[in-house]
């Protein structure tokens, strides 16, 4: 699969899982790796880029052990981006399923 295409999907997945609740870096990587076959070392750079684009904001939270953790929280802009991604993705999948002749529900 095309690398850029994969990265696009990964971006959407990262947006989707952080939209459910605030997460710290390792939690994001771990959650993704449990569900999909992902190149784990590409997750942090994407997180950082999306944060730079204003789709996430970060805050520190104290932990019981060690230094405080950086958490990622979705912004309003992030929610809009996720909705746009989802619409685009569902329409794409519907088209793909039509072509394949299978179930067209995405």
Q: Is 4 in the site for other proteins (CB under 8 A)?
A: no
CA distance 106 to 104: 6
Q: Applying CB under 8 A, what is the total number of residues that bind other proteins? A: 19
Nearest approach, Cβ of 39 to other proteins (angstroms)? 8
Can you tell me whether residue 106 is helix, strand or coil?
coil
Q: Which is nearer to other proteins, 30 or 88 (CB)?
A: 30
Task: Please provide the size of the chain in residues.
Answer: 106
Query: Which residue, 29 or 82, is less far from other proteins as judged by CB?
Result: 29
The alpha carbon of residue 90 and the mean position of all alpha carbons in its chain are separated, in whole angstroms, by 16
d(CA 21, CA 5): 25
Contact string (CB under 8 A) for other proteins, positions 30-69, x = contact: x---------xxx-xx--xx--x------------xxx-x
How far apart CA 22 and CA 56 sit, in angstroms, is: 10
Does the footprint of other proteins cover residue 73 (CB under 8 A)? no
Kindly list the residues in this chain that would bind other proteins in the complex (CB under 8 A). Answer: 24-27, 29-30, 40-42, 44-45, 48-49, 52, 65-67, 69-70
């Amino acid at each position: 699969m095309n690398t850029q295409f994969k990265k696009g999907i990964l971006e959407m997945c990262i947006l989707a899982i952080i939209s459910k609740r605030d997460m710290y870096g390792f939690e994001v990587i771990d959650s993704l790796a449990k569900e999909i076959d992902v190149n784990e070392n590409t997750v942090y750079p994407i997180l950082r880029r999306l944060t730079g684009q204003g789709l996430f904001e970060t805050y520190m939270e104290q932990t019981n052990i060690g230094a405080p953790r950086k958490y990622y929280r979705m912004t309003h802009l992030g929610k809009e981006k996720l909705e746009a991604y989802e619409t685009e993705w569902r329409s794409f999948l519907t088209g793909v399923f039509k072509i394949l002749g299978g179930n067209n529900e995405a």
